């Protein structure tokens, strides 16, 4: 990582830079905040709050996208509280062990990665579920609840939206995993369990499963119809009902569904290739089903 050390005690700054350099980091030093804000291309900024007469706010504002760790000789509103409120991530009290400083740097680096990854996942899920109706009153839904839907994305959308509304962590479990019950039992009370593949359970396994989720906040999804349990069941049907028939679809129905739903996503050459038919056959299918391709 590229690290900027803002410290007017040159010997201390050099000592920190040498130790961090030995660990593979690239360090630069400056003795004033005025010099520091000339560039903002740093992963980490180590900011000493013992530089007399210096305004730390411009530094914190300049490096708002970096990990700012305060290096302080004493704790006060000016050296810790105000800089943290302005956007610094953490502080470390002088004198300190370099291992403790590295631990803090690694912690916040991991945190920033997780935060960015979470934002990307949320954007992807929002896009993925944009065409799925999810107008349930999640505030009034009590868990455990079972979701019956032939289209697994319906259950996915329900589970992620419920966790968002309840502002709770979501833990994913598939009942095809041999360790599923152990994972369910180990989940804490403040986490929502999203459990799929209920249809894969054998009759002899269901008693243990029901005991495991009895005191859990669980959303259990099945691709088969559910009608033999005492729990609340929500049946979600696809708008075209093509996945809700509970049987193998006729080839013609499958081809019609694919053409209707994917003709605007793939060019005809690729779509016909995926269906294993010629472009002429694809054109004939559209004519047969009265499907108009948008231009």
Beta strands across the sheet bearing 217-222: 169-174, 191-196, 217-222, 145-148, 232-235
Given this model, what pLDDT does residue 36 score? 84
Q: What is the pLDDT of residue 265?
A: 78
**76-97 average pLDDT score:** 92
User: What global pTM score does this model have?
Assistant: 0.67
pLDDT digits (tens, 9 = 90+) for 121-155: 999 988 888 878 778 899 989 999 999 987 788 89
Q: Are 144 and 220 in contact (CB under 8 A)?
A: yes
Sheet holding 2-6, edge to edge: 26-30, 2-6, 44-48, 67-72, 90-93
* Pair of tokens at residue 231: 């729990």
pLDDT for position 264: 76
Q: What integer pLDDT is reported at residue 96 of this predicted model?
A: 92
Look at residue 244 and give its three-state secondary structure: coil
Q: Which pLDDT band, with edges at 50, 70 and 90, does 169 fall under?
A: very high
Q: What is the DSSP letter of 205?
A: G
Q: What percent of the chain has pLDDT over 90?
A: 52
pLDDT score for 248: 60
Asked whether the beta carbons of 190 and 168 are under 8 A apart, the reply is yes
Confidence label for 238 from pLDDT (cuts 50, 70 and 90): low
Per-residue pLDDT for 291 more than 90?
no
- Assign 217 to helix, strand or coil: strand
pLDDT at 71 over 90: yes
């Amino acid at each position: 990582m590229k690290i900027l050390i803002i410290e007017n005690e040159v010997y201390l700054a050099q000592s920190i830079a040498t130790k961090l350099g030995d660990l593979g980091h690239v360090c630069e030093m400056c003795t004033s905040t005025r010099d520091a804000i000339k560039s903002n291309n740093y992963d980490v900024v180590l900011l000493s709050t013992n530089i007399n007469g210096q305004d730390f706010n411009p530094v914190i504002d300049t490096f708002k996208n970096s990990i700012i760790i305060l290096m302080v000789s004493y704790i006060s509103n000016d050296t810790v509280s105000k800089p943290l409120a302005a956007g610094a991530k953490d502080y470390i009290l002088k004198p300190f062990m370099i291992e403790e400083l590295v631990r803090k740097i690694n912690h916040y680096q991991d945190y920033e990665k997780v935060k960015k990854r979470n934002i990307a996942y949320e954007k992807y899920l929002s896009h993925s579920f944009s065409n799925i109706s999810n107008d349930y009153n999640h505030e009034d839904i009590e868990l455990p609840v079972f979701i019956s839907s032939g289209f697994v994305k319906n259950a996915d959308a329900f589970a992620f939206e419920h966790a968002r509304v309840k502002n709770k962590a979501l833990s994913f479990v598939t009942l095809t995993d041999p360790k599923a019950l152990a994972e369910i039992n180990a989940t804490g009370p403040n986490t929502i369990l999203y459990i799929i593949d209920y249809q894969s359970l054998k009759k002899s396994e269901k008693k243990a499963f029901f005991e495991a989720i009895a005191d859990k906040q669980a959303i259990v999804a099945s691709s088969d119809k559910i009608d033999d349990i005492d729990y609340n069941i929500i049946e979600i049907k696809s708008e075209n009902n093509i996945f809700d028939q509970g049987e193998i679809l006729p080839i013609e129905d499958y081809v019609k569904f694919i053409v209707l739903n994917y003709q605007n996503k793939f060019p005809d050459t690729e779509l016909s290739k995926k269906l294993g038919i010629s472009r002429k056959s694809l054109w004939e299918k559209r004519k047969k089903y009265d499907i108009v391709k948008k231009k």
